[in-house]
Chains A and B, each alone.
Chain A
Amino acid sequence: MKLYPRQRHRVLQVVTKLIIPFVMMFGLYVQFHGDYGPGGGFQAGVIFSTAFILHGLIFGLQRTRAVLSPAILRIMMCAGLLLYCGTGIVTILLGGNLLDYNVLAHDPLHGQHWGIFTVELGVGITVTGVMISLFYNFASRRSD
């Protein structure tokens, strides 16, 4: 049975598999709870990316790359930034100033909520992408 490159770390592999969903879940919690409590895109992005980094450490970079290829990461990094900038553009198109969330919904309170939500989501996606690609670049021998 040749499943994993490092057969010796069976315990670590099993525990990792168990932990990863919870790490991701916690990342998402920090992401979307950032409006009400401590948290936000930066922290959530780092936490979410640790799930992939842990996977890479235990199962080897090859398998993590199969899950999340560098091409997808590049798109993530751009998509997050574009989501942020896009929110700014939308607020201007709706007649507000740059990043004036009041105009995003029927009343200012909901507008602020939606604005923060999308902007932080953009930050989260970009930070996740950047963290994982940093890991890929330092862990792999040569860039591709």
Chain B
Amino acid sequence: MYEQLPALMILVPFTAAPVCVVFRHALASWVIALAASLFSLFAAWQVLEHVRTVGIIRYKVGGWAAPSGIEYYIDTLNASVLLLVSGISCIVLVYAYRSVIKQVPLAKHYLFYTAWLMCMSGLLGIVITGDAFNVFVFLEVSSLATYMLISMGSDRRALTASFRYLIMGSVGASFILIGIGFLYAATGTLNMIDISERIPNSESQRAVLVAFSFICIGVMIKAAIFPLHAWLANAYTYAPVAVTAFLAGTATKVSLYVLLRFFFSIFGYEYSFGQLLLNGVLLPAAVAGFILMSLVAVYQTDLRRMLAYSSVAQLGYIVAGISLASQAGLTAGIVHILNHALVKSALFMAVGCIIYQVGHAHRPSFDDLFKRMPFTCIAFIIAGLGLIGVPLTVGFISKFALIEASMDRGWWLIAALILVSSLMAVVYIGRVVEVMLFRQSRTSTPEVSGMSEAPLSMLAPMYLLIVIGLYFGINGDATLSLAGEAAEQLLGGF
């Protein structure tokens, strides 16, 4: 049974989804979703252990050998992203129970958890598979479920946000599909390892180039990399906040994984960065992204929207690390994928707690927030420090690695700009903290002096995430060695 875990990791949540629809019961669906997520987490943990101790896993679906059949290919990079996705899903699901009761009509709860499971198994599928077309299939599974989850937001604008994401996401997914089609035309195979072996000898290099461009743009849309990020702000703002916390930690990260897999493993480091100068596209986008989006985030009054723009900025750091295309740069990028997921999910969960009690996330309207919700505020401040990159938090580990990597390449300007963008993060997090700590109640009614904290079932998972973050912030070697291993495998090709 042990060697079946890669398949069961996807199969269990995928089977659990229709079971939720059969039961049509809110609590039962939640229990099923949580159980399936926990199973996936366990499986991902086992798989990561196996990959790090024994070696790469290649699982043959249907018993058919690799080039003709679909295979699951798991190395350190996959396994760590699998662990991240299933872990975030588990933690946020615990949190979601109370949050969803308040934000989604009861009759739709079973659909909510069904879509959640579909989304999670789709994301896990994208990450685990070693077949280029299978990536697209799972991408569609997760995307469709995501549109559904976003549209369940209590605000009516959630519908337009979801529709906008549907249009942009479909364009992105079609571009990826067209790219994969061209790759198939050029190489005659869909297996990733096979494609990477055949690309250098392919007679139609032009088709490979077209495939490269389509996949590049498609993935940039799905990952919300700077000029193509327009769908993200509204989607994150109006979705149910548990969904935002889940997506912020997983969906864009999985797209970045796809980017890494395609450009480093399939096209190969030499082709992408040596021949085609991909860093000429990615690096300006990344730098413009983290500067401009941090600036935009400073001026947002809605906390969710502020964090959404901050997400685009943080994705900029990751892409900057990737486009350095060195061992150190890739390590920094991958570490930041993991670290930013922890921080941003925790921040959105804190905002969710505020929305749960206060009813909105409009910063200028808060008063006496620290007195009313001290635990939520402390959580927000700790996670916010992580976002800024203060020592002893995860943000410090990845930003330090990133600055070190860019200085290794002699790109002092990039290093300086990263610091400037971090200072902007100080400003936008600081403005929230200022309101939390120092804004007195303007109405000065004594009734709000009592504490009205969010329920324990929301605080506990949030603090779990923060403690994990602090652990990896203090023990940075754990994630750095993992990312280093993954970067080494990526630069080495398949």
Contacts and interface: CB of A to CB of B under 8 A. Distances in A.
Contact of B63 (A78, A82, A89, A100): A100
Contacts of A92: 1, 4, 7-8, 11
A77 B63 contact: no
Most interface-central of B4, B8, B14, B18 (chain A CB within 10 A): B18
B60 interface: yes
Interface string A64-106: 0000000000110111011001101100100011111110000
B61 interface: yes
Given A81-B18, A100-B63, 8 more contacts: A82-B18, A82-B22, A92-B4, A92-B7, A96-B63, A97-B61, A97-B63, A98-B59
Using C-beta atoms within 8 Å of the partner chain, give the interface range for chain A. Answer: 10 to 19
A20 B355 CA distance: 54
Contacts, number: 49
Interface of A: 74-75, 77-79, 81-82, 85-86, 88-89, 92, 96-102
A82 to B, nearest CB: 5
A30 B18 CA distance: 26
B174 interface: no
B21 A100 contact: no
A102 B21 CA distance: 31
B18 A78 contact: yes
Nearest to A100: B63
Given A99-B61, A101-B62, A85 B4 contact: no
A97 B59 contact: yes
B98 to A, nearest CB: 27
Nearest to B20: A78
Given A85-B11, A89-B11, A102-B63, A97 B19 contact: no
Contacts of A97: 4, 7, 59-63
B46 to A, nearest CB: 15
B218 to A, nearest CB: 25
A79 B63 CA distance: 25
A87 to B, nearest CB: 11
Contacts of B11: 85, 88-89, 92, 98
Contact of B62 (A82, A85, A98): A98
A97 B5 CA distance: 10
Contact of A89 (B15, B19, B21): B15
A41 to B, nearest CB: 15
Using C-beta atoms within 8 Å of the partner chain, give the interface range for chain B. Answer: 10 to 19
Interface in B1-57: 1, 4, 7-8, 11, 14-15, 17-19, 21-22
Interface of B: 1, 4, 7-8, 11, 14-15, 17-19, 21-22, 59-63
22 contacts: A74-B21, A78-B19, A78-B22, A79-B18, A81-B17, A81-B18, A85-B11, A85-B18, A86-B15, A89-B15, A92-B1, A92-B4, A92-B7, A92-B11, A97-B59, A97-B62, A97-B63, A98-B61, A98-B62, A99-B62, A100-B62, A102-B63
A75 B8 CA distance: 24
**Which 6 A-B pairs have CB atoms at the shortest separation, nearest pair first?**
A100-B63, A98-B7, A78-B18, A85-B15, A81-B18, A99-B62
B228 to A, nearest CB: 31
Contacts of B4: 92, 97-98
B213 to A, nearest CB: 31
A55 B58 CA distance: 49
B281 to A, nearest CB: 38
B493 to A, nearest CB: 26
A71 to B, nearest CB: 10
Nearest to A88: B11
B21 A77 contact: yes
A127 B336 CA distance: 41
A81 B114 CA distance: 13
Most interface-central of A79, A99, A101, A102 (chain B CB within 10 A): A99
A86 B19 CA distance: 12
A144 B368 CA distance: 44
Nearest to B114: A78
Nearest to B8: A92
Nearest to B4: A92
B14 A85 contact: yes
Given A100-B62, A102-B63, A75 B7 contact: no
Nearest to A81: B18
